[in-house]
Amino acid sequence: MSSYRLSFEEPVRELDRLIEDLRKPNPNGKSNNTRELKRLERKKLQLLKDIYSKLSPWQRVQVARHPDRPSTADYIRLIVNDFQELHGDRRYGDDKAMIAGLGTIDGIRLAIVGHVKGRTTPEKIRCNFGMAHPEGYRKALRIMTLAEKCRLPVLSLIDTAGAYPGVGAEERGQAFAIAENILEMAMLRTPTVGIILGEGGSGGALGIGLVDRLLIMRYAYYSVISPEGCAGILWRSGEMAEEAASALKIGWDDLTKLGLVDAMIDEPVGGAQRNHDQAAQNVRQAIVANLKALKKLRLNKLLEKRRQKYRMMGVFNEGGRLVEQAQLRAEAVPPPQA
């Protein structure tokens, strides 16, 4: 369980301290008052439900960035069998901010690509805090085209503040690498599923995010720009990030209404950072359900539905098209509720 506390979780801190004290054995080697412990745990659970049922968009962003939130590497470890990582883009090098390889989930063999942020400070530096370079996107595309040749579905695990905007990345063709991925994923002749695990930032997310079914974790966000970046442009001040988060419509509820994501994957009470195992099982169920549904479609039908899905985005004044869009979203399969 996470030991890091967000500011709005402060009411839970004292309960955590009391529960921890009660769990310590007394001098006789016996546990303390079991009844009181259960009462405090129930109270804490209810308090977390109350807090997380009323999160503002900015608070959701804070949860999405929680340092103890399960990462792409955690989900691969928890739900993927016999994962075999593949390295390099065959042009420049191997980007540690992007992981790619082959594995099995519930008997389904598939290719997996995803952003890696790192957990410790050395890991974060090595992974460039999850901000991929062009070689990362080219590596991902190499694995996706390999999956197409082998008739394997593709799973994209998205968790990035954005693609790296440094001089070296731009010199090596960052914009072109992302654009090429979007073009190729639009035509990829195999089922594709993407999940926004935490941050879904800008072109960094789109570089592996053009998929048949795009799912989002309850407390993740998906946005054309970070709230701080938006605030800096509109108000010339990062202090307006909270207002920007509200204006950007970055939560799962607004995104599903706009047709930008297909379904939400629920998280444990208090967020995925409080229970990695349960969050991973929810993700696994969603992956399996959606891949099974997509595999039932003939390839030409799959590609046509993908084309319709993205051509209809941004259409607000043509009622018939909006009905079609709603029908496409309805076909996404959320995981069973616990």
Mean model confidence pLDDT for the chain: 89
Element (H, E) at 214: strand 213-217
d(Cα 164, Cα 222) in Å, to the nearest integer?
A: 17
Residue-by-residue DSSP string for 80-127: -EEEEE----SSS---TTEEEEEEEETTEEEEEEEE---SSHHHHHHT
**Of the ranges 20-24, 119-123, 316-320, which is most confident?**
119-123
For residue 131, pLDDT beyond 70: yes
User: pLDDT by residue (tens digit) across 183-207?
Assistant: 999 999 999 999 999 999 889 999 9
Residues in the chain: 338
Q: Tell me the two tokens of residue 265.
A: 């994957």
For position 265, what pLDDT does the model report? 96
Per-residue DSSP letter, 24: S
Element (H, E) at 294: helix 276-295
Sequence-ordered list of residues with C-beta below 8 angstroms from that of 304, at least 6 positions apart, any chain: none
User: pLDDT by residue (tens digit) across 231-253?
Assistant: 999 998 888 999 999 999 999 99
Output the pTM of the full model: 0.87
* Strand, helix or coil for residue 172: coil
Assign a CATH topology to domain 62-330: 2-enoyl-CoA Hydratase; Chain A, domain 1 (3.90.226)
